[in-house]
């Protein structure tokens, strides 16, 4: 796979940007929080032998659907700077011209 987000650890957990990172953090249990509902990531993991074009998370990405970003299913973006030492591989953060 490819790195979809990179940043200092504290920044990643406090301010995740990529929909997959957000979903993973939301699906992680927290010690001592027994009543916390965990986020379920919709859909199925793609076939690792025959990966889809574009972003590997696109078929399961709700923000992509909500924003009608079809480019996500065709082309994978490069890492985009979203803050100091924080980069994300997501078309949601591509500057619109």
Domain positions in the chain: 5-93
User: φ, ψ for residue 60 (rounded to 5)?
Assistant: -110, 5
Query: Between residues 61 and 32, which one has the greater pLDDT?
Result: 61
Can you give the chain as a three-state secondary structure string?
CCCCEECCHHHHHHCCCCHHHHHHHHCCCCCCCCCCCCCCCCCCCCCCCCCCCCCCCHHHCHHHHHCCCHHHHCCCCCCEEEECCEEECCHHHCCCC
Predicted pLDDT of residue 37: 77
Calculate mean pLDDT across residues 26-51: 81
Q: Does residue 97 carry a pLDDT above 70?
A: no
**CA dist 45 to 9, 49, 52, 60, 86, Å?**
25, 12, 11, 8, 26
Give the model confidence (pLDDT) of 71-96 as tens digits.
999 999 999 999 999 999 999 998 75
Predicted pLDDT of residue 96: 55
Average pLDDT of the chain to the nearest whole number: 89
């Amino acid at each position: 796979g490819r790195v979809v987000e990179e940043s200092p650890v504290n920044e990643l957990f406090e301010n995740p940007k990529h929909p997959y990172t957000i979903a993973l953090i939301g699906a992680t249990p927290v010690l001592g929080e027994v009543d916390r509902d965990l986020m379920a990531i919709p859909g199925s993991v793609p076939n690792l032998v025959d990966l889809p074009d574009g972003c590997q998370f696109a078929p399961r990405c709700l923000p992509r659907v909500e924003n009608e970003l079809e480019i996500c299913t065709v082309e994978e973006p490069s890492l985009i700077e979203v803050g100091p030492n924080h980069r994300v591989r997501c078309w949601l953060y591509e500057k619109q011209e």
